[in-house]
Amino acid sequence: MLTLLERRRKKGRRAAVVVCAGLVLLAGCGGGAGDGEREAPPTAIGTLEQLAAKADCEPDLQTDAEEIRQANCLTADGRYVLVTFATDRGQREWIDEADDYGGSYLVGRKWVAVGEPKVVAALRGRLGGTVETASPHHSGRSGSGGSEGGHSGHRGS
């Protein structure tokens, strides 16, 4: 039987995945941006508000839970979703679930930004991090406990 906290965590992650999936569908399908080769600053750390400030975004907070915080952002580069996590494990679980929907992700320590490839590339210039992409045709979990390094489009863990 799930505890109340576990149910809230699952609900928060699902809501974040649904929002990001919608963003990916609105943005259209895009391959890797190729901008991942460009020089980037050290990976930023901080709260959602601190990361948003570094990215020149006034965050529109959508989820404010203990284990996950999520905001929509709009900058001159475009729209994206910024998500912060209480734990590394929570972040990895979220990414593994979101990968099923495809898209481009900028990944830092306990944070992820999701948007069109060109937006993610521009954000990388301000926040650092690692670009991850997933194909939208990915059809479920591999059952390998989160490491999908053998699939194309995924960064090895």
pLDDT tens-digit series, residues 94-151 = 999 988 888 899 999 999 999 999 999 999 999 999 999 887 754 444 443 433 333 3
Residues 6+ positions from 54 with CB-CB distance below 8 Å: 44, 46, 126, 127
Q: What angle do CA 49, 55, 61 make, to 5 degrees?
A: 40
Which pair of structure tokens corresponds to residue 43?
């990976």
Give the model's pLDDT for residue 101. 85
Report the range of poorest mean pLDDT among 2-6, 45-49, 50-54, 60-64: 2-6
Extents of the domains making up the chain: 4-134
